Amino acid sequence: MKLLFETLKPYRLFISAALVIKAAGTLVELAIPYILSYILDYVILDRNVGDIVFWGVMMIICALAALTGNIIANRMAARVARNTSKSIRHRLFSRTLTLSAAQIDAFTVPSLESRLTSDTYHVHHFVGMSMRMGVRAPLLLIGGIIVTATLDPVLTLIMLVVMPLISVSVFFITKKGIPLFKQSQKSVDSMIRIVREDSQGIRVIKALSKSDYERRKYDKANKRLVEDETRASVTMAASNPVVTFILNFGLVAVVLVGALRVNSDLTQPGKIIAFIQYFTIISNAMIGITRIFVNYTRGAASMQRIEEVVRTPEDITQRSEAEFPSREGGRYLEFDDVSFSYIGKKDNLSHISFSLGCGETLGIIGATGSGKTTLIQLLMRFYDVSSGSIRIDGRDIRTMSAEEIHTKFGIVMQNDFIYQGSVFDNIAFGRELSMSDINEAARLAHASEFIEKFPDGYEHTLTSKGTNVSGGQKQRLLIARALAGKPEILILDDASSALDYRTDANLRRAIRDELSGTTTIVVAQRISSVMNADVIIVLDEGRIIGMGKHEELLERCSVYREISESQIGGAFLE
């Protein structure tokens, strides 16, 4: 809960003011039964109508003051809860964006979504209730006991016997509830994962007639969530009946003992009536405290999950040049005996070495799972190499800041995305780019030809994931986005799979002719996409099994030759 207290700290004066107002309203409310007792035992006996009206008006004033104070304090509590959850949500989202790829893999995207939504909501609810009831309930409890002690110490002892029983019950129920709520949130993560996967693959699900299968899978996850939430809720719900039973038992004892004391002239009826009212107030206060503990249980479990992300240390940090010194005289881009493993057991890439001059083009080809995308992720330092080094312009990328590295690149990934917004906004992608920059990028990507056919041109609204454009149009928009920033290194990771051969060839020719100073890396399945590259590497199971130019690989690499022969038709479009 340390993160919560850190977030609340800027609001401490505002919270203090709210608590003071809440406390004042609560104390005034405590006076009402005492005034009633005084009226019944003393004012009525004098038969003075003026005194009766006066004290009656005082009760009304106290009730209105308590109402006003509670309303003001509750509005202030709502404001603090809103701002606190907003700050926590912002901090969590910001940290999520800076997590390394390995950390995102560990948390999983559905879990991060759950923490940003349901967990922050639980914290919001806990903060609001704590401020509303956190002062009111204890004051009603303690104040009620103090006032009743002045009314009738004997009856007060009955309540003091009841309180420890309630406290022990609430403590053990709460202790058991926290892990149950954490488990229920994990079930929420699983359900969100299924919803996310099914929403992304809804067309495939329908095409393969697997709606019933996915429905059963969702029902299973939903049932598990219901069971976990039921287990947690039933456990915590036991607190209210237990507290109510103990309080009612105490109330019966108060009524019986009070009746005996009135009958023996040891106390007055007005005091017994006031005492019963105070006992009711104390009962509601105990129930309120119980509710706080219930919400604390859920809020604490959610805060632990949020803090796991926020407090996660950065595992990819900028290292010193003393540890990884620069090398002069090397080529622009170098992989020096690079090996990497995702889970630290079997290498996903083994002993990868190659170099590339500034403005040259590297082609990477290989079977699915051969390590092509992994190599790109290492180059952009989404992961750190297990051994070896990667250098750009003589500097080890581990000595560069994340911003310095990533501003060098323009990239189109296999599973890149279009968000809902205009064509211009999707290409600019939040960068300060002019209309001429966007037009030039779209022209190079051969996207301007279809963009300009839209009635509203670059202001045409694209739907989420680009569902209102074709696959080839989407890929050209993504390539335009990569080119718009005028990158030093352009990476096209299977970026032309949806393009026809002619468009693909024209695109590569435009990049080669007009971006001669840009170092280009093309990851592809087509030989025609890489055959004119200055260097081509062939990957197989994480190892380089062939490297050279197209003609050299046709002679020396049987795998490359087989791929080329099977796709030879595509080469004639050059």
Instruction: Give tens-digit pLDDT for 357-371.
Output: 998 999 999 888 888
pLDDT of residue 317: 85
In 501-542, the DSSP E strands lie at 519-524, 535-540
Instruction: Work out the mean pLDDT of the chain and round it to a whole number.
Output: 83
Query: Which band of pLDDT confidence, cut at 50, 70 and 90, is reported for residue 472?
Result: confident
Query: Which band of pLDDT confidence, cut at 50, 70 and 90, is reported for residue 378?
Result: very high
Query: Which band of pLDDT confidence, cut at 50, 70 and 90, is reported for residue 48?
Result: confident
pLDDT over 90 for what percent of the chain? 11
What is the phi/psi pair of residue 366, to 5°? 165, 170
Mean pLDDT, range 546-561, rounded to an integer: 89
Alpha-carbon gap, residue 192 to 91, rounded angstroms: 22
Alpha-carbon gap, residue 438 to 484, rounded angstroms: 6
Asked whether residue 236 carries a pLDDT value surpassing 90, the answer given is no
At residue 569, the 3 state secondary structure works out as helix
3-state per-residue secondary structure call for 126-167 = HHHHHHHHCCHHHHHHHHHHHHHHHHCHHHHHHHHHHHHHHH
C-alpha gyration radius of the chain: 35
Lowest mean pLDDT, pick from 141-145, 282-286, 336-340: 282-286
Token pair, residue 225, equals 């969530």
Query: Which band of pLDDT confidence, cut at 50, 70 and 90, is reported for residue 88?
Result: very high
Domains of the chain are 2-309 (1.20.1560.10), 333-573 (3.40.50.300)
Token pair, residue 509, equals 């020719």
Asked whether residue 339 carries a pLDDT value surpassing 90, the answer given is yes
Mean pLDDT, range 318-322, rounded to an integer: 88
pLDDT of residue 333: 92
Alpha-carbon gap, residue 44 to 50, rounded angstroms: 11
- The Cα-based distances of 89 to 10, 196, 308 in angstroms read 16, 20, 14
Token pair, residue 380, equals 């952009």
Query: Which band of pLDDT confidence, cut at 50, 70 and 90, is reported for residue 266?
Result: confident
Token pair, residue 520, equals 């280009």
Alpha helix locations (H) across 238-317? 239-263, 269-310
- Nearest one of 304, 169, 300, 182 to 231, comparing CA atoms: 182
Residue-level length of the chain: 574
Asked whether residue 391 carries a pLDDT value surpassing 60, the answer given is yes
pLDDT of residue 389: 92
pLDDT of residue 187: 81
Contact present, 494 and 452 (Cβ < 8 Å): no
What is the DSSP-derived secondary structure letter of residue 330?
Answer: -
At residue 542, the 3 state secondary structure works out as coil
- Nearest one of 462, 427, 425 to 443, comparing CA atoms: 427
Asked whether residue 570 carries a pLDDT value surpassing 70, the answer given is no
Determine how many CB atoms are found less than 10 A away from the CB of residue 106: 12
Contact present, 390 and 334 (Cβ < 8 Å): yes
Token pair, residue 219, equals 């029902």
Contact present, 273 and 40 (Cβ < 8 Å): yes
572 vs 253, more confident:
253
Asked whether residue 573 carries a pLDDT value surpassing 60, the answer given is no
pLDDT in tens, 423-461: 898 888 888 888 988 898 888 888 888 898 888 888 998
**Sheet holding 395-396: strands in order across?**
349-356, 333-340, 387-392, 395-396
Asked whether residue 162 carries a pLDDT value surpassing 80, the answer given is no
pLDDT of residue 164: 77
Mean pLDDT, range 104-119, rounded to an integer: 85
Look up tokens 């949806």; give the residue.
498
Chain-centroid distance of CA 184 in Å reads 16
pLDDT of residue 574: 43
Asked whether residue 159 carries a pLDDT value surpassing 80, the answer given is no
Asked whether residue 329 carries a pLDDT value surpassing 90, the answer given is no
Asked whether residue 352 carries a pLDDT value surpassing 80, the answer given is yes
List of residues 6+ apart from 39 with CB closer than 8 A: 52, 55, 56, 270
Mean pLDDT, range 279-288, rounded to an integer: 76
Token pair, residue 82, equals 């809103």
pLDDT in tens, 164-186: 777 777 777 767 776 777 777 77
Token pair, residue 271, equals 């005091």
pLDDT of residue 568: 62
- Is the backbone of residue 192 left (phi > 0), alpha (psi -120 to 50) or beta? alpha
Look up tokens 């002045």; give the residue.
150
Alpha-carbon gap, residue 110 to 195, rounded angstroms: 9
Asked whether residue 514 carries a pLDDT value surpassing 70, the answer given is yes
Alpha-carbon gap, residue 170 to 160, rounded angstroms: 16
Q: Residue 544: what residue type?
A: I
pLDDT of residue 200: 64
Query: Which band of pLDDT confidence, cut at 50, 70 and 90, is reported for residue 207?
Result: low
| Long-range Cβ pairs for the range 233-239 (8 Å, 24+) | 235/173, 235/176, 235/177, 235/180, 236/173, 236/174, 236/177, 236/294, 236/297, 238/173, 239/169, 239/170, 239/173, 239/174, 239/290, 239/293, 239/294
- Nearest one of 376, 326, 366 to 493, comparing CA atoms: 376
Mean pLDDT, range 335-359, rounded to an integer: 89
Asked whether residue 146 carries a pLDDT value surpassing 60, the answer given is yes
Q: Residue 514: what residue type?
A: E
pLDDT of residue 203: 64
Mean pLDDT, range 2-14, rounded to an integer: 87
pLDDT of residue 279: 75
3-state per-residue secondary structure call for 487-511 = CCEEEEECCCCCCCHHHHHHHHHHH
Look up tokens 């796991």; give the residue.
308
- The Cα-based distances of 219 to 113, 211, 232 in angstroms read 20, 12, 20
Alpha-carbon gap, residue 474 to 241, rounded angstroms: 59
pLDDT of residue 536: 92
Query: Which band of pLDDT confidence, cut at 50, 70 and 90, is reported for residue 397?
Result: very high
pLDDT of residue 258: 75
Query: Which band of pLDDT confidence, cut at 50, 70 and 90, is reported for residue 571?
Result: very low
